[in-house]
Amino acid sequence: MNTELMTAELQDFIQNHDLYGCIQCGRCTGGCPVTVRTNLNVRRFVYNALDQSMRDDLAKLPEIWDCTACNTCAVRCPKGLKPVEVLMGLRNILVVEQGTVQPTVRDALESVFLEGNPWSKPRKTRSDWMEGLDVKIAEPGEKVENLIFVCCTVAYDPRVQVLAKNLVSLLNKSGVDYGFIGESEACCASEVHHLGEEDLFLEMVESNAELLNDYVAERIVAISPHCFSTFKNQYPALKAKVIHYTQLIAELLETNKLKFNKEYPQKIVFHDPCFLGKQNGIFAEPRAILGQIPGAEVVEFERRRERSLCCEGGGGKMWVESESKKERLAEIRARDAGTLGASILAVACPFCVLTLDDAIKAKGLEEQLRVAELLEIIGDLVD
Amino acid sequence: MSTQFEPNIVAFLCNWCSYAGADLAGTSRTHYPSNLNVIRVMCSGRVNPLFVVNALQQGADGVLVSGCHPGDCHYMEGNFHARRRFTLLRELLEYVGVEPGRFNMSWVSASEGAKWKDVVGEVVEKAKEAGPFKRFRRDKINW
Amino acid sequence: MNNKPKIGVYVCHCGVNIAKTVDVDAVSEFASRLPNVKVVRNYAYMCSDPGQFLIREDIEKEGLNRVVVASCSPRMHENTFRKTLNAVGLNPYYLEMANIREQCSWVHEDRDEATAKAKKLIYAAAAKVRLLEPLYEKEVDVEPASLVIGAGIAGIQAALDIANAGFKVYLVEKTPSVGGRMSQLDKTFPTLDCSACILTPKMVDVANHPNIELLAYSQVEEIAGYVGNFDVKVRKKARFVDVDKCTGCGICAQECRLTGRIPSEFDMGMGKRAAVYMPFPQAVPAKYTIDPERCLFLTRGKCGKSPKCADACTAGAINFEQQDEIVEFKVGTVIVATGFDPFDPARKPEYGYSDYANVLTGLELERLVSASGPTGGAIVLGEGENAFVPKDIAFIKCVGSRDKSVGNEYCSRVCCMYTAKLAHLVQEKVPGSNVRIYYMDVRAFGKGFEEFYDRVRRGGVRYIRGNPSEIFKRGDKLVVKVEDTLNAAPLEDEVDMVVLAVGLEPRNDAREIIDILRLSQSADRFYLEAHPKLAPVDTATDGVFLAGCAQGPKDIPDTVAQAKGAASSALVLLSSGKVKIQAQISFVNENTCRGCAYCVEICPYGAIELVAISRMGNTVQVARVNEALCKGCGACAAACFSGSIQQKSFMDRQILPQIAVLGVMR
Ligand SMILES: Cc1cc2nc3c(=O)[nH]c(=O)nc-3n(C[C@H](O)[C@H](O)[C@H](O)COP(=O)(O)OP(=O)(O)OC[C@H]3O[C@@H](n4cnc5c(N)ncnc54)[C@H](O)[C@@H]3O)c2cc1C
Ligand code: SF4
Ligand code: SF4
Ligand code: SF4
Ligand code: SF4
């Protein structure tokens, strides 16, 4: 390979992604969950991106949109590379330089830019879900122990708005100090990054960090693992500690500020969301919560915790459909839950709710199995 | 003789790496400017920051401290001490208005004769840029 | 007065090497005008016999008491000229050299410039030499005994070599038996000799050797002193079995209420033992030990009506009153041979090692294939009705090695080969089995290794290039999620058994020895040798040597070679009986020392300690240098605010004049 023919841009790309560090061991592709249904082979992207003549064409391969950003490849890589970020870098080239994006993606990005959410909903209706609830809103500059960050999907999608509502009720009952942000809250931009719009992502990171740093918050509590992981790992400027709501609830249970006192006679299997478990090592807290539920029987998937199977909800997959017609990972998940005889497929992520809901329908398992977010389950269990 | 300013530089070299590296530059017959004079110590960790200040007071236009690469110190950690000390000293010197180019640190191993030549060239060049150093100078040999 | 400096300056031409670029006459003339200089001479080759003769003659006839030689690098001939001085009774440390060759005539082309620089260098040397003080090299006796810590194959070999040379060896082993990891292996690559067959005779030799005192089930508590004179304190843990009485018959273990209930460490938890046990049948010493953490009597004070072991032992060897014993002795050298730990694959949860009984480590498989192992050498997994013989078997290499995600970037150097060995053995033992090895590279670098790898491969073991990412269960099968990278084909390979070729890690108790001996660790956390190439068995502490996997992963041939190297390095000291200690070390002016202890903190060798002295009627703390430990780096002298600690031959008042000359003189 002639390095002199390499553009400075490519040299930067190689440096930023440490491409020369790859030893082609194949652990990334080996662990990649979507390989059972699509052509994505992330190792080959890492390999071929070194070569100027190949790299620019890589971005045009349809399978770069199959990546769910589950991060398994990065967690497993023995050399510390982040193969997933190579794909995101290529998406960035495609979206920004080549300007070729699918309309759904363009709409989502535009909506984040204009309205602060990817769902093409008006900014001023972000807090509509609060209507009729006794919600404490924190003012900028105010000291607050737990600053709650509501995910765009939770704020607008009627299927999962209940998460926020139930969280409010639990927080009120526990007496813990908290505050919501309200209408000025804007998308964490996790999905902007995954859709390849890096400039917009960085802009959002800056403005969000400014907003969040305006509060004198001890910690920021995210409802969605996607916001949680993004704040925790991609917002170096944030002053407050970032946690996921399952950590807060587990803490409230442990310190007896919350206590479940109603029965929930169901057989529950918990699906570890990638952005919570694999990426941030939070396995114990959701299980601690489930363990406290009276009357519930909790079972486990074979593929759990570090080996959990991705549901394909992340990585921009809400806006890009895969070309593959093979069984979806979420469907495999639903099937496995069915085989276990579970009546509740519990999750701790709004995206998982949406993908697994669809999967249960596709598999015709509605009669025996239902998806429930942990907040849905526990919202009514406290007097 | 040219009338160009020729700086006078005092260098402290550790016995095991940098002094050996400078010897190797000699054995390999590389050529470099004669402005730099070496004081051999066993370890760069021996170099008291006051030596550096003293050299500037006594008339040096620049000073170099050179030791083994971090992690290779013959005495395990001496060059780490040196690095810590001299990072502070450099800030202090800058604070009192000594041009940064006058005080230099380098890591030259026993096998880096060629690097030693480059280091000397660089240090001399920087001192030339900074010009004659008069601020602290005493005019008589004084110890 | 005797002590008034009378300096002789000797300028060498070095043939033309110096004289061509440096005007030696001008330099000599300059030198003759320097303060305290009595004699100046220049000569073709100062290092030659006639050259040295000139110096000797002047010292004797002219009464010179200081010498400056302006010639090549002191790294070249400082010792030569020291001897010259010494030969005529002048202290060898009254010498200073000016390097006018390597750092002057050879690197400068302009004769004027080179001459001017040579003058400066000689002036600086003369300025320093006036102030030098006489130093005396001390010699200390070497205690004719050695301590060897760890009795794996490395420690055993080193102990035998030293003992055979006629010196006393104290061999300290933490566990109840010598043998280390090698005793757990079945056959050894690349020759497939049986491990026990080659190891057991050496183990027995160690126990019977008249020069070896074996302290098994013991731990080093403290080592004080310095090269030649280490004071060692060892704790002999209570075995609760009187080794003088125990005959090793094993009736106690048969009778123990916990027989067959406690996982055997030796069998990697796959076999079971009693609370009173011998780790394996060939253990040395062949004595029983009661496990104080398991024994019912020792943990609860009660074992049925009375301890069954004690009742059964006809020799009356069981003794629950036994106490730990502290043994103290003196040695001249120490060899650290504490070995390694296998990587714990629970730290890679994606491989399901903690969840699935049919995911094994290499060491577990060693026990399984061993005729003395828990299954008598049969490859059978599961127990009772669930027992089965695995047919589809996958090996995974580099588990816990070459892997940043677990903090181990190094290659463990033995797993490629032991994988080939084990794959071969398994294939032999399970007819009709399909054995595949998932790998990222095959490293077969040793003597006979490539040939062995070839043999295994040709024997039908499949090598598939790809490092697996995940293992989970589907039905009865284990699914290995992996990419065949040569085909770019992601696979879900269904197998009956997975073997993880775990790498070698520093022992998790490696700190103990670091704290006792002040050893350093390299970036891989193994103990650091003094020089990777030229002093591979030495450490930064004189008299302390490394052998075996304690220094880094290695196979048995390399371990034994290194053990022999460490033994011979120790023997150099032991057999000469004397060791010289550095002369250019530090000393403290106890009148001005403020006891701030900055130097104590900075000294890399722990050579300085605070002691209480009485100063004008008050008790004050001052620093004191242990002359045997100080290596003369001078770091302390640079740290001292009051200039109270100084390094001999490199004192502040000796260096400052050099600075002054070089600074002022243009
Ligand atoms: C699965 C496997 C298979 C292998 N197969 C082969 C093979 O076929 N061929 C081959 O050449 N090599 C093989 N090896 C490598 C071989 O095991 C090592 O080279 C060898 O065991 C190293 O010996 P050692 O004495 O350095 O360490 P060890 O065997 O670890 O011995 C160290 C000893 O020191 C003791 N000890 C530790 N700390 C202390 C302390 N503080 N105080 C007192 N005692 C202490 C330990 O109890 C132990 O007895 C294999 C390794 C593994 C893991
Ligand atoms: S896991 Fe890492 S080192 Fe291995 S092939 Fe993928 S990117 Fe390369
Ligand atoms: S992030 Fe997940 S889906 Fe994307 S390439 Fe990596 S392993 Fe595959
Ligand atoms: S010896 Fe082979 S298996 Fe072991 S770490 Fe090195 S390359 Fe991997
Ligand atoms: S000279 Fe170095 S080794 Fe000696 S006491 Fe001082 S710091 Fe320690």
Q: Which of residues 13-32 of A touch C (CB under 8 A)?
A: 23-32
Domains of chain B: total: 1
* Beta strand spans in C548-597 (E): 578-581, 586-588
**Residues C482-502: pLDDT tens digits?**
999 999 999 999 999 999 999
Query: Left, alpha or beta for A370 (phi > 0: left; psi -120 to 50: alpha)?
Result: beta
Which residues does residue B39 pair with via DSSP β-bridges, in sequence order?
B12
> A1 pLDDT band (50/70/90 cuts)?
very low
Q: Which ligand is nearest to the CA of A90?
A: 3
Q: Which ligand is nearest to the CA of A76?
A: 2
- C571 and C331 Cβ atoms separated by less than 8 Å: no
Q: In the prediction, which pLDDT does B3 show?
A: 64
B112 belongs to a structural domain: yes
B135 belongs to a structural domain: no
The predicted model gives C428-448 an average pLDDT of 97
Interface test with B, best of C664, C665, C666 (most B CBs within 10 A): C664
Q: Which domains does chain C have, with CATH numbers?
A: 7-137 (3.40.50.960), 145-237+324-339+507-578 (3.50.50.60), 251-312 (no CATH), 341-505 (3.50.50.60), 586-647 (3.30.70.20)
**Residues A279-328: pLDDT tens digits?**
999 999 999 999 999 999 999 999 999 999 999 999 999 998 888 899 99
**Residue C61, SS3 per DSSP:** helix
pTM: 0.83
Q: In the prediction, which pLDDT does B1 show?
A: 41
Q: Does the bond joining C74 to the residue before it have cis omega, within 30 degrees of 0? A: no
Lowest-confidence pick of A82-91, B129-138, C189-198, C512-521? B129-138
Q: How many CB pairs under 8 A join B and C?
A: 147
A30·C466 Cβ contact <8 A: yes
The yes-or-no verdict on residue B139 having pLDDT over 70 is no
Place of tokens 């290529």: A90
Which residues does residue A147 pair with via DSSP β-bridges, in sequence order?
A179, A220
> A332 pLDDT band (50/70/90 cuts)?
very high
Q: In the prediction, which pLDDT does C426 show?
A: 97
Alpha helices in C88-182 (DSSP H): 111-129, 153-164
Domain positions in chain A are 3-98, 105-253, 259-378
Give residue B83's domain range: 9-130
Of the candidates C405, C471, C473, which has its C-beta nearest A78's C-beta?
Answer: C405
- Is ligand 3 within 6 A of the CB of residue A86? no
Lowest-confidence pick of A71-80, B103-112, C101-110? B103-112
The one-character DSSP state at A184 is G
> A269 pLDDT band (50/70/90 cuts)?
very high
The yes-or-no verdict on residue A6 having pLDDT over 80 is no
* Beta strand spans in A213-284 (E): 216-222, 241-244, 267-270
**Which chains pack against C, by 3+ Cβ pairs within 8 A?**
A, B
Give the strand pairing for C218-226 and C212-215.
unpaired
> B125 pLDDT band (50/70/90 cuts)?
very high
B10·C659 Cβ contact <8 A: yes
Of the candidates C352, C440, C481, which has its C-beta nearest A31's C-beta?
Answer: C481
B75·C662 Cβ contact <8 A: no
Atom number, ligand 4, closest to the C-alpha of residue C501: 3
Place of tokens 């696979």: C491
Average pLDDT, chain B: 89
- Calpha distance C106→B22 (Å, rounded): 11
B26·C109 Cβ contact <8 A: no
Give the strand pairing for C586-588 and C645-647.
antiparallel
Cβ neighbours, 10 Å, residue A318: 20
- Calpha distance C568→A278 (Å, rounded): 52
Amino acid at C243: V
The yes-or-no verdict on residue C577 having pLDDT over 60 is yes
Is residue A163 within a helix (H) or strand (E), and if so which, with residue range? helix A161-174
- C157 and C560 Cβ atoms separated by less than 8 Å: yes
Helix axes B113-130, B18-27, angle to 10 degrees: 100
Give the closest-approach CA distance of C632 to chain B in angstroms. Answer: 7
The yes-or-no verdict on residue A96 having pLDDT over 90 is no
In terms of pLDDT, which residue wins out, C334 or C224? C334
> B69 pLDDT band (50/70/90 cuts)?
confident
B137 belongs to a structural domain: no
B40·C74 Cβ contact <8 A: yes
Q: In the prediction, which pLDDT does A239 show?
A: 95
- Is ligand 3 within 6 A of the CB of residue A293? no
Atom number, ligand 1, closest to the C-alpha of residue C179: 49
Q: Which of residues 284-323 of A touch C (CB under 8 A)?
A: 302-303, 305-307
Handedness of CA B9, B12, B15, B17 (dihedral sign): negative
Cα(A32) to centroid of ligand 3, in Å? 5
Nearest-CA residue for ligand 2 atom 6 is A28
Q: Which residues of C touch B110 (CB under 8 A)?
A: none
Cα(A83) to centroid of ligand 2, in Å? 7
Q: In the prediction, which pLDDT does C515 show?
A: 83
- Is ligand 3 within 6 A of the CB of residue A190? no
- Is ligand 4 within 6 A of the CB of residue C503? yes
Q: Which residues of B touch C659 (CB under 8 A)?
A: 10, 39, 51, 54-55, 58, 60, 143
What percentage of residues in chain A have a pLDDT greater than 70? Answer: 99
Give the closest-approach CA distance of C576 to chain A in angstroms. Answer: 49
Interface test with C, best of B54, B58, B79, B111 (most C CBs within 10 A): B58
Nearest-CA residue for ligand 2 atom 2 is A77
C124·B37 Cβ contact <8 A: yes
- Is ligand 4 within 6 A of the CB of residue C411? yes
- Is ligand 3 within 6 A of the CB of residue A70? yes
- Calpha distance C526→C562 (Å, rounded): 15
Q: Which ligand is nearest to the CA of C648?
A: 5
- Cα A339 off chain centre by: 26
Q: In the prediction, which pLDDT does B140 show?
A: 57
At A74, phi and psi to the nearest 5? -70, -40
Q: Do chains A and C touch by CB distance (3+ pairs < 8 Å)?
A: yes
At C629, phi and psi to the nearest 5? -90, -30
B3 belongs to a structural domain: no
Cα(C592) to centroid of ligand 5, in Å? 18
> B137 pLDDT band (50/70/90 cuts)?
low
**Which chains pack against B, by 3+ Cβ pairs within 8 A?**
C
Atom number, ligand 4, closest to the C-alpha of residue C398: 8
- C23 and C115 Cβ atoms separated by less than 8 Å: yes
User: A3-98 with A105-253: one CATH topology?
Assistant: no
Q: Which residues of C touch B134 (CB under 8 A)?
A: none
Average pLDDT, chain C: 95
Of the candidates C635, C662, C663, which has its C-beta nearest B43's C-beta?
Answer: C635
> A41 pLDDT band (50/70/90 cuts)?
very high
Spatial CA neighbour of A271 closest among A347, A322, A165? A347
**Residue C114, SS3 per DSSP:** helix
The predicted model gives A264-288 an average pLDDT of 98
**Please, what is the Cα angle at A370 between A369 and A372, to 5 degrees?**
145
B38 belongs to a structural domain: yes
A259-378 carries CATH number 3.40.50: yes
Considering the segment(s) A105-253 as one domain, its CATH architecture is: 3-Layer(aba) Sandwich (3.40)
Q: Which residues of B touch C73 (CB under 8 A)?
A: 19, 23, 26
The yes-or-no verdict on residue C253 having pLDDT over 50 is yes
Pocket of ligand 1 (CB under 6 A): C 149-155, 172-175, 180-182, 185, 188-189, 219-220, 337-340, 342, 362-363, 366, 414, 418, 421, 507, 512-513, 548-549, 554-557, 559
Q: In the prediction, which pLDDT does A153 show?
A: 97
ipTM value of the model? Answer: 0.94
The predicted model gives C193-212 an average pLDDT of 96
Q: Which residues of B touch C639 (CB under 8 A)?
A: 81
Q: In the prediction, which pLDDT does C480 show?
A: 98
Which CATH number is correct for A3-98, 1.10.1060.10, 3.50.50.60, 1.10.565.10, 3.30.9.10?
1.10.1060.10
What percentage of residues in chain C have a pLDDT greater than 90? Answer: 91
Of the candidates A31, A41, A302, which has its C-beta nearest C469's C-beta?
Answer: A31
C660·B41 Cβ contact <8 A: no
B38·C655 Cβ contact <8 A: no
Cα(A234) to centroid of ligand 2, in Å? 22
Lowest-confidence pick of B121-135, C32-46, C83-97? B121-135
A264-282 burial, b if ≥16 CB within 10 A, otherwise e? bebebbbbbbbbbbbbbeb
- Is ligand 4 within 6 A of the CB of residue C416? yes
CATH number at residue B68: 3.40.50
- Calpha distance C390→C497 (Å, rounded): 6
**Burial (Cβ within 10 Å: 0-12, 13-18, ≥19) of residue B96:** exposed
Give the closest-approach CA distance of C506 to chain A in angstroms. Answer: 19
The predicted model gives A364-373 an average pLDDT of 97
The yes-or-no verdict on residue C226 having pLDDT over 50 is yes
The yes-or-no verdict on residue A156 having pLDDT over 60 is yes
What percentage of residues in chain C have a pLDDT greater than 70? Answer: 100
Q: Do chains C and B touch by CB distance (3+ pairs < 8 Å)?
A: yes
**Residues A110-155: pLDDT tens digits?**
999 999 999 999 999 999 999 999 999 999 999 999 999 999 999 9
**Residues C262-272: pLDDT tens digits?**
999 999 999 99
Cα(A19) to centroid of ligand 2, in Å? 9
Tokens encoding A312: 């394909």
